Amino acid sequence: MPVVEAVNLRRTYRTTTGTFRRRSLEVEAVRDVSFQIEEGELFGLLGPNGAGKTTTIKMLITLLIPTSGTARVLGHDVVEDATWVRARIGYVFGGDRGLYERLSALDNLRYFAELYGVEPRRQRARIAELLELVGLEGREKERVEGYSRGMRQRLHIARGLLHDPPVVFLDEPTIGVDPVGARELRATIASLTDAGKTVLLTTHYMFEADQLCDRIAVIAKGRIVGEGTPRELKARVADGSVVEIEVYGVPDETVDRMRGIRGVRAIGVEDRDQAQLLVVQTEPGAELTHALLSELDGATVGRVSSREPTLEDAYVALVSDEPEPVAQ
Amino acid sequence: MTRLARTARLLALGWLFYVKMATRSAFDGLLGILYPLFFATVAFFMFRAGHDSKSLLYASLGAAVMGVWSSTSTTAGSAMQRERWHGTLELLVAAPRHFALVLLPASVAQTTIGLYSMLATLFWGRVLFGIGVSIEHPLLFAVSVLATVLAIGSAGFLLAVSFVRYRAAWALGNMLEYPVWLVCGFLVPLSLFPHWVRPISWVLAPTWGMQAIRESALGGSPLADAAVCLLLGAAYVLAGVLVVERVLGAARRRAALSLA
């Protein structure tokens, strides 16, 4: 039996536009998302901002009711058995929010230990264990408002593990954390599966998913567009090659025209100060440098290079193919 | 530990947690000094013309309870909104305990802070305007104050339930501040209002709490008023507990728990 199972999950949000002539719109944030996570697996939900990762995770942790479809955790429906599910899952999200800043880390942990039903006689030892796990021992009596982003994030993880849940949901836990802090957090996340926990991690950092996850589902514009191990996803683009072109001030229409060149699989655009880096993935054997540069005629072109594809290229290829959902 | 003992422990620790948090804000601390000063001044200038020490005490007690209600009505809403801004509301909802066990101590904690406002108003009235506080039945006075605090906390709980579902409902809390001062007879006797106002006053627990406090201070029999006050408070809690899961269900359907 899978530990986490999503079947055709769909979630729409209703929003309004206009001041005097208000119009109601329905936006599909998640569209027919299905996946399964087995026991002890670290499963990554990878996608750009606004792809539907957080909406999916919020449905799984019972905070949002799906518009349609079902989700089960440890065999229990997240809508019908919400209280049962809540007692057995941990939820950690990234960023500055989610903590009582005026109080100490210890105050925060004690209150949540009580809310999650940790036995009073176990609370002191459990909190000490977790403070050691996340490297906050000795700082627990300080107010959270004085904590760095990395320390807050580690406190979040400690809070999410207080009741020793078998399933942990981590929603972009390293977002905004400095590189050293993020590396320490990733080591902590990796240790969760060593302790037998099943983990769902959402991230938009490719290397993080590659390093940590046993399997990855790539989500774009609310839909799962690819799923497999990091190796399987890389294999999707391994037979092609990648041309990188540094260019200054390229219009969107030009990039769209380049996408239409025969042999081009996908194009990603990365902004770098005043320049853009066009990352062009090509079919095997296609020599497209000349054709691509011809389309850029008139634009200032900098460095041009070619290289082997990476997992990030597989990700870019998957997410750039997905059409926008239509608002109704 | 039995389930009942765990629930009592959660309520007690939740109350302590929120009282601790409320006392950590310098801004709220400043308001805590200014508001009672304001309430005591209002009471003095309204009733000084009477030159009657009993009517001044009557007004001073009313002004003192105004602080308890203000602390609850305004902060119960803003506290829920703050939970939403800080992203903690979702974490509280995602916890496996009944959500009423989170909201109730949070509301009563705000009322407890209001209790300080009550004492401070009486203190300022005594120091600045010489309004003597002589309590005829100290024990019954303490019982009446406790009943009033619990009932106002329960009313705050009922308000907070609606704040969970409706993001803009905190404004409702502010809007209710002054009308309740009037219709519960904090400063002006209820007999001065039109008859149609009275049923509204009767279903509001602070009306009975206020009467019980005055009766005990001025030498009457407050027990019946205190009992009605507590019963109404219990009814508010019951109503809140019954609707909170439904309200949460609606918030989960409408994605109203977070600002995102």
For residue range A83-111, what is the model confidence (pLDDT) as tens digits?
A: 999 999 999 988 778 999 999 999 999 99
Q: How far, rounded to the nearest angstrom, does the alpha carbon of residue B49 sit from its chain's CA centroid?
A: 30
Is the pLDDT at B174 greater than 80? The verdict is: no
Cβ partners under 8 Å of residue A226, min gap 6: A217, A218, A233, A236, A314, A318
Instruction: Work out the minimum CA distance from B23 to partner chain A, whole angstroms.
Output: 9
Phi, psi values for residue B52, rounded to 5°? -120, 120
Contact yes or no for A292/A246 (Cβ under 8 A): no
Helix spans in B95-222 (H)? 100-129, 138-165, 170-183, 198-202, 205-218
DSSP secondary structure, A146-209, as one string: G--HHHHHHHHHHHHHTT--SEEEEESTTTT--HHHHHHHHHHHHHHHHTT-EEEEEES-HHHH
Find chain A residues with C-beta within 8 A of B90's C-beta.
Answer: 58, 63, 98
The H or E element spanning position A245 is strand A241-248
Q: How far is the alpha carbon of A4 from chain B, nearest alpha carbon, in Å?
A: 17
Token representation of residue B160: 């907070």
Q: What number is the average pLDDT over the span A165-172?
A: 94
Q: Calculate mean pLDDT across residues A16-34.
A: 84
Q: pLDDT (tens digit, 9 = 90+) per residue, A265-314?
A: 888 888 887 888 888 888 877 788 888 888 887 788 888 888 877 777 77
For the stretch B100-109, pLDDT in tens is: 999 899 888 8
Domain A239-308: which CATH number of 3.50.50.60, 3.30.360.10, 3.30.70.260, 3.40.190.290: 3.30.70.260
Q: Which of residues 65-94 of B touch A (CB under 8 A)?
A: 85-88, 90-94
Pick from B228-232, B243-247, B249-253 the range whose average pLDDT is largest.
B228-232
Q: Please, what is the average pLDDT of chain A?
A: 88
Whether residue B63 has pLDDT greater than 50: yes
Q: For residue B260, what pLDDT band results from cuts at 50, 70 and 90?
A: very low
Q: Give percent above pLDDT 90 in chain A.
A: 45
Q: Which residues of B touch A117 (CB under 8 A)?
A: 6, 96-97
* Chain A CB contacts of B245 below 8 Å: none
A120 contacts on B by Cβ (under 8 Å): 1, 9
Q: How many domains does chain B have?
A: 1
Tokens of A261: 């060149």
Report which of A134, A50, A144, A122 is spatially closest to residue B88, judged by C-alpha positions. Answer: A144
B54 or B124: which leads in pLDDT: B124
| Whether A161 contacts A185, CB under 8 Å | no
CB atoms closer than 10 angstroms to residue A287:
11
pLDDT of residue A328: 55
Contacts of B9 in chain A (CB under 8 A): 114, 120
- Per-residue three-class SS string for B144-177: HHHHHHHHHHHHHHHHHHHHHHCHHHHHHHHHHH
CATH fold of A1-81+166-238+310-328, please?
Rossmann fold (3.40.50)
- Would you say residue A80 has pLDDT above 50? yes
Query: Does B4 reach chain A within 8 Å, measured CB to CB?
Result: no
Residue B74: which of B16, B145, B152, B185 has the closest Cα?
Answer: B152
Q: Is residue B260 part of a domain?
A: no
Nearest to A205 by CA among A5, A64, A53, A99: A53
Average pLDDT over residues A210-220: 91
Percent of chain A beyond pLDDT 70?
97
pLDDT value of residue A18:
75
Q: Name the one residue in this structure whose structure tokens are 């239509």.
A: A326
Whole-number mean pLDDT of chain B?
85
What is the average per-residue pLDDT within B157-172? Answer: 78
Is residue B249 a part of any domain in this protein? yes
* Comparison of pLDDT for A32 and A295, the residue scoring more: A32
A226 pairs with which residues across the strands? A218
Q: Chain A residue closest to B259 (CA)?
A: A97
Among B1, B13, B96, the residue with its CB nearest the CB of A111 is B13
pTM of the model as a whole: 0.83
Q: Averaged over A5-28, what is the pLDDT?
A: 85
Q: Does the structure show a pLDDT above 90 at B148?
A: yes
Name the nearest CA neighbour of A105 among A50, A159, A163, A28.
A159
Cβ neighbors of A118 (< 8 A, separation 6 or more) are: A126, A162, A163
The residue behind tokens 């925060």 is: A108
- Roughly how many angstroms between the first and final C-alpha of chain A, as a whole number? 37
Q: ∠B114-B118-B122 over CA atoms, to 5°?
A: 160
**pLDDT at site A181:** 81
- Report residue A56 as tokens: 């999916």
Per-residue confidence (pLDDT) for residue B95, from 0 to 100: 93
Cβ–Cβ below 8 Å for A98 and B13 = no
How confident is the model at residue B259, as a pLDDT? Answer: 57
Q: Which pLDDT score is estimated for A66?
A: 95
Tell me the H-state helices in chain A.
53-60, 82-86, 105-115, 120-133, 149-161, 179-194, 206-212, 230-235, 252-259, 289-295, 311-320
How far apart CA B97 and CA B129 sit, in angstroms, is 49
pLDDT tens, position by position, B183-239? 898 888 888 889 999 999 999 999 999 999 999 988 888 999 999 999 999 999 999
Rounded-to-5 percentages of helix, strand, coil across chain A: 35, 30, 35
Q: Given pLDDT bands bounded at 50, 70 and 90, which one contains residue A321? A: low
Query: What residues of A are in contact with residue B97 (Cβ under 8 Å)?
Result: 115-117
Report the residue of chain A nearest B79, measured CA to CA.
A100
Is B242's Cβ below 8 Å from some Cβ in A? no
With bands split at pLDDT 50, 70 and 90, how would you rate the model's confidence at A323? low
Residue range(s) defining the domain that contains residue B125: 3-254
Residue A160's nearest CA partner among A108, A211, A104 is: A108
How far away is chain A from the Cα of B103, in angstroms, using its nearest Cα? 12
Minimal C-alpha gap between A116 and chain B (Å): 6
- Is any Cβ of chain A less than 8 angstroms from the Cβ of B172? no
What are the chain A neighbours of B87 within 8 Å (beta carbons)? 93, 95, 97-98
Domain definitions of chain A by residue range: 1-81+166-238+310-328, 89-163, 239-308
Nearest-CA distance from B126 to chain A in Å?
34
Q: Report the amino acid identity of residue A220.
A: A
Domain annotation covers residue B259:
no
Tokens of B248: 């949460």
Neighbour count for residue B187 (Cβ, 10 Å)? 20
How confident is the model at residue B52, as a pLDDT? 67
